[in-house]
Amino acid sequence: MNITVLGSGTIGQSWCALFLAAGHRVVAYDPNPNMQQQILDAIARAQSTLDALGYPGSGCSECLEFTTDAREAVKGSRFIQENAPEDLSLKHALYQEIETALDSDAVLLSSTSGLTLGELQDGLTNPSRLVIAHPFNPPHLIPLVEVLGNDLTRSGLVPEVLGFYESLGKVPIELKKSVPGHVANRLQAVLWQEVLHLAKEGVASLPDIDKAIANGPGLRWAVYGPNQLFSLAAGDQGLLGFIQHLGPSFENWWSSAGQVTFDDDTQRLIEQQYVDVNGLDTEEMKRRRDQIICQILSMKKAT
Ligand SMILES: NC(=O)c1ccc[n+]([C@@H]2O[C@H](COP(=O)([O-])OP(=O)(O)OC[C@H]3O[C@@H](n4cnc5c(N)ncnc54)[C@H](O)[C@@H]3O)[C@@H](O)[C@H]2O)c1
């Protein structure tokens, strides 16, 4: 299948690596011609990960075409993954440029993290072919894709898009309603708020709270979500049994949860407590993070 990637920065490059590894032909577009080499570098970097995850064509760049012509890029493609910068007027201009060059059954998939489907649809004459398909960075590694259509979306398109990502080995979920930040980023944001609140209250330091998450619930969250985990915690009583047992405690913790902003106090706290990232080899840390996630995913698949 031909797949087009529009915008070949951080997210676009990673999508390119995945689509190619899954055996598809990819046409990548970016107005910046230097991105061609960056895509090739990203494909090479992703190769060992995609190999380990069992993709047949990892590292293959023969089926990649690069162009700085957006209209050329979309011709003949059924699925078009758009990863242009997070700027509504820029995305609208891009949609306007490509719309008349799209195949009649082409599907436009936007990776947007923060723009709403309604806002994006305003940039198209035919909004029925547009779906939000939000990946978690990096898309070639993290399985989650959040998929959102609405009343204007062509009937049957959302299930088709869910099937498309499943065919790539991803784990798509359907969002039934538009909400800022979709689901996963909102959950991260709420957790981080309480992390900062606890540190501000002097309950524990930021590095120790990171340790608590990575060595406690974070390990279980890579296996099951909280509903499943809590239902396992109540023996054969299920989730409602868990609530009978611990519901009042949770309500107490919820009512004492904090709200923070990134005011001067919060920023000072981060400066004082957070490890000096300048002293760390962040590229090496990212490499290790991705290597461990890859091993977890391989183990989940094998178990
Ligand atoms: N970075 C993340 O963690 C992340 C995660 C999920 C989703 N997203 C979403 O993915 C999209 C892209 O984000 P990114 O982090 O890859 O950005 P980025 O800045 O790394 O890449 C954007 C690319 O788009 C190119 N570009 C500039 N003008 C363009 C145009 N008119 N048409 C097409 N491409 C153009 C740029 O040259 C650049 O290569 C955004 O909508 C963002 O919300 C980002």
pLDDT band at 58 (very low <50, low <70, confident <90, very high): confident
Give yes or no for residue 250 having a pLDDT over 90.
Answer: yes
**Structural domains of the chain, count:** 2
Mutate to test the pocket of ligand 1, among 8, 10, 14 (most ligand atoms within 8 A of CB): 10
How far, in whole angstroms, is CA 267 from its chain's centroid? 26
Contact 45, 59 (CB under 8 A): no
Residues sharing a CB contact under 8 Å with residue 52, sequence separation 6 or more, in sequence order? 294, 295, 298
pLDDT band at 276 (very low <50, low <70, confident <90, very high): low
Handedness of CA 142, 227, 247, 214 (dihedral sign): negative
Closest CA to 35 of 77, 2, 68, 80: 68
Instruction: Confirm or reject: Cβ of 134 under 6 Å from ligand 1.
Output: yes
281 confidence band (pLDDT: 50, 70, 90)? confident
Q: pLDDT band at 275, cuts 50/70/90?
A: low
Judge if 171 and 188 occupy the same domain.
no
- Average pLDDT for 200-204: 97
Q: What is the mean pLDDT of residues 260-274?
A: 94
225 and 133 within one domain: no
Final residue in a domain of this structure, among 175, 197, 217: 175
Tell me, yes or no, whether 25 and 151 share the same domain: yes
Same domain, 151 and 206: no
Query: Can you give the length of the chain in residues?
Result: 303
In CATH, what number is assigned to the domain containing residue 245?
1.10.1040.10
Query: For residue 90, which atom of ligand 1 is closest to its CA?
Result: 31
Rounded Cα–Cα distance for residues 182 and 146 (Å): 7
Rounded CA separation 110/115 (Å): 10
**What does the pLDDT read at residue 277?**
60
The one-letter amino acid code at 76 reads G
- From 175, 199, 225, give the residue that closes a domain: 175
Do 38 and 130 fall into the same domain? yes
CATH number, domain of 115, equals 3.40.50.720
Return the residue whose CA atom lies nearest to atom 2 of ligand 1: 137
Q: Is 112 in the pocket of ligand 1 (CB under 6 A)?
A: yes
Q: Are residues 20 and 62 in the same domain?
A: yes
Q: Residues near 171 by Cβ (< 8 Å), separated by ≥ 6?
A: 143, 144, 145, 165
137 lines ligand 1 (CB under 6 A): yes
Q: Do residues 57 and 123 both lie within one domain?
A: yes
**Does the CB atom of residue 4 touch ligand 1 within 6 A?**
no
**pLDDT by residue (tens digit) across 140-192?**
999 999 999 999 999 999 999 999 999 999 999 999 999 999 999 999 999 99
Q: Is any atom of ligand 1 closer than 6 Å to the C-beta of 85?
A: yes
Q: What is the pLDDT of residue 278?
A: 61
Distances (CA, A) of 62 to 16, 20, 65, 296: 12, 9, 8, 30
* Ligand 1 centre distance from Cα of residue 134 (Å): 12
Single-letter amino acid code for the residue at 53: L
Q: Is 11 in the pocket of ligand 1 (CB under 6 A)?
A: yes
Q: Which of 55-59, 248-252, 270-274 has the highest mean pLDDT?
A: 248-252
Cβ of residue 143 lying under 6 Å from some atom of ligand 1: no
Amino acid at 19: F
- The per-residue pLDDT for 226 is 97
CB of 83 closer than 6 angstroms to any ligand 1 atom: yes
Query: Is the shortest distance between the CB of 73 and ligand 1 below 6 Å?
Result: no
Domain assignment of residue 27, given as a range: 2-175
- With 90 as the cut, is the pLDDT of residue 220 above it? yes
- Answer whether 0.75 is exceeded by the pTM: yes
Q: What is the pLDDT of residue 56?
A: 87
Higher pLDDT, 275 or 152: 152
The encoded tokens of residue 131 equal: 């779906």
Amino acid 145 reads V
Claim to verify: residue 188 and residue 163 sit in the same structural domain: no
C-alpha 45 to ligand 1 mean position (Å): 19
Q: Is any ligand 1 atom within 6 A of the Cβ of residue 188?
A: no
Residue 57 and residue 113 in one domain: yes
Angle at Cα 129 formed by Cα 107 and Cα 126, nearest 5°? 135
Whether residue 139 is found in the same domain as residue 215: no
Whether residue 163 is found in the same domain as residue 48: yes
- Kindly tell me if the per-residue pLDDT of 81 is higher than 80: yes
Residues 27 and 128 in one domain: yes
The mean predicted confidence, pLDDT, of the chain is 95
Per-residue pLDDT band for 283 (boundaries 50, 70, 90) equals confident
Domain boundary among 140, 175, 210: 175
Residue 223 Cα, ligand 1 centroid: separation in angstroms?
30
Instruction: Give yes or no for a contact between 88 and 63, defined as CB atoms under 8 angstroms apart.
Output: no
